[in-house]
A and B are shown apart, each in its own frame.
Chain A
Amino acid sequence: MTAMRQAKAVYPFGFLDEYAKKEVRRTVLKAIAIPGYQVPYSSREMPMGRGFGTGGLQLTLSLIGSNDTLKVIDQGSDDSVNAVNLRSFIEMTCEGINTTDVTDEADLIQSRHRIPEKPLREDQLIILQVPYPDPLVVVEPSEDKRKVMHGEADYSRLLVKLYEDIVQFDEITISHRYPTRINHHYIIDPSPIPRWDVPKLHQSKALILLGAGREKKIYAVPPYTDAEPLAFDDVPFRVENFIDQHGKRRACDRCGDTTSFLDEFTSSDGNKVYQCSDSDWCREQLQKKGA
Chain B
Amino acid sequence: MGYVAIKGGGVAIKGAQDTLEYMRCAQGDTGSPLDMKTIEHQLRFLHGRVLSEGGLYHPELASLAVKQSLGDSLEAAFALRAYRSTKPRLLETPTLDTSNMRIVRRISAAFKDIIGGQTLGATTDYALRLMRTELLDESPEAFRQVAQQWFKDQGDNAIPDTFPKVVDSLRADGLLAEVDTAAQQQPFDITREPMIFPVPRSAALATMARGETGSLLAIAYSNMRGYGDVHPTVAELRVGYVPVMLPHPISGELIEAGEVLMTECEVVAMYESDDEDDKPTFSLGYGACFGHNEVKAIAMSILDRSLQKGMKDGPTNPSEDPEFVLLHVDGIDSMGFCTHYKMPHYVTFQSDMDRLRTTQEKAQQAEEQA
Q: Which residues of A contact B (CB under 8 A)?
A: 10-12, 15-20, 23, 40-52, 54, 74-77, 79-85, 88, 113-114, 131, 141-144, 147, 169-171, 173-177, 192-196, 214, 216, 240-241, 253, 261-269, 273, 275, 277
Distance, CA A84 to CA B15, complexed state (A): 13
Structural contact, B359 and A11, CB atoms closer than 8 A: no
Per-residue interface assignment for chain B, residues 1 to 12, with 1 indicating a CB less than 8 Å from any chain A CB and 0 otherwise: 111101111101
Bound Cα distance from A263 to B347, whole angstroms: 7
Q: Residue B194 contacts which of A43, A49, A277 (CB distance < 8 angstroms)?
A: A43
Q: Which 3 A-B pairs have the closest CB atoms?
A: A51-B340, A50-B336, A267-B2
> Which of B4, B85, B339 has a CB less than 8 Å from the CB of A44?
B85
Query: Is the pair A54, B9 in contact by a Cβ cutoff of 8 Å?
Result: no
Which A residues are in CB contact (< 8 Å) with B87? Answer: 17
Instruction: Answer whether residue B335 sits at the interface, using C-beta atoms and an 8 A cutoff.
Output: yes
Counting chain A CB atoms within 10 Å of each CB, the highest count among B3, B4, B347, B366 belongs to B347
A195 cross-chain contacts in B, Cβ below 8 A: 351
Chain B interface bracket (under 10, 10 to 19, 20 to 34, 35 or more):
35 or more
8 Å CB contact of B359 from A74, A143, A171, A194: A171
Do residues A46 and B82 form an inter-chain contact, with CB atoms below 8 A?
yes
- B143 sits at the interface (CB 8 A): no
Known: A19-B89, A43-B194, A175-B355. A50 touches B332 (CB 8 A): yes
Interface flags, B80-101, vs A, CB<8A=1, else 0:
0110111111000000000000
User: What is B's interface to A at a CB cutoff of 8 Å?
Assistant: 1-4, 6-10, 12-13, 78-79, 81-82, 84-89, 190-198, 323, 332-341, 343-348, 350-355, 358-359, 362-363, 366
| A240 B192 Cβ-Cβ under 8 A | no
List of A residues within 8 angstroms of B354 by Cβ: 175, 240-241
Contact of B85 among A15, A192, A240 (CB under 8 A): A15
The answer to whether B358 touches A77, judged by C-beta atoms less than 8 angstroms apart, is no
Question: Do residues A74 and B85 form an inter-chain contact, with CB atoms below 8 A?
Answer: no
B318 CB to nearest chain A CB (Å): 11
Interface pair A42/B191, CB less than 8 Å apart: yes
Structural contact, A45 and B85, CB atoms closer than 8 A: yes
Point out the residues of chain A lying under 8 angstroms from B363, CB to CB: 169-170
**Contacts A/B (CB < 8 Å), 10 sampled:** A11-B86, A15-B86, A17-B88, A45-B81, A47-B78, A80-B9, A82-B343, A85-B13, A144-B323, A240-B354
- A264 contacts B350, C-beta separation under 8 Å: yes
Chain A residues within an 8 Å CB radius of B193: 42
Contacts of B78 in A (CB 8 A): 45, 47, 49
- Residues of chain B with a CB closer than 8 A to A193's CB: 347
Complex: chain A residue closest to B344, CB-CB: A75
Known contacts A19-B88, A45-B84, A214-B337; A88/B10 CB under 8 A: yes
Find B340's partner among A11, A52, A169, A275 (CB 8 Å cutoff).
A52
A52 to B339, CA, bound (A): 9
**A79→B7 contact, CB < 8 A:** yes
User: A18 — which chain B residues lie within 8 A by C-beta?
Assistant: 88
Tell me the bound Cα distance from A291 to B84 in angstroms: 52
A76 contacts B347, C-beta separation under 8 Å: yes
Among A40, A85, A113, A264, which residue has its beta carbon within 8 angstroms of that of B348?
Answer: A113
> B2 and A268: CB pair below 8 A?
yes
Whether B333 and A214, one on each chain, are in contact in the complex, defined by CB atoms closer than 8 angstroms, is: yes
Determine how close the nearest CB of chain A comes to the CB of B6; give it in whole angstroms: 5
Q: Does A192 lie within 8 Å of B2, measured CB to CB? A: no
CA of A75 to CA of B82, assembled, Å: 26
CA distance A18 to B338 in the complex (A): 30
Contact at A83–B9, with CB atoms within 8 Å? yes
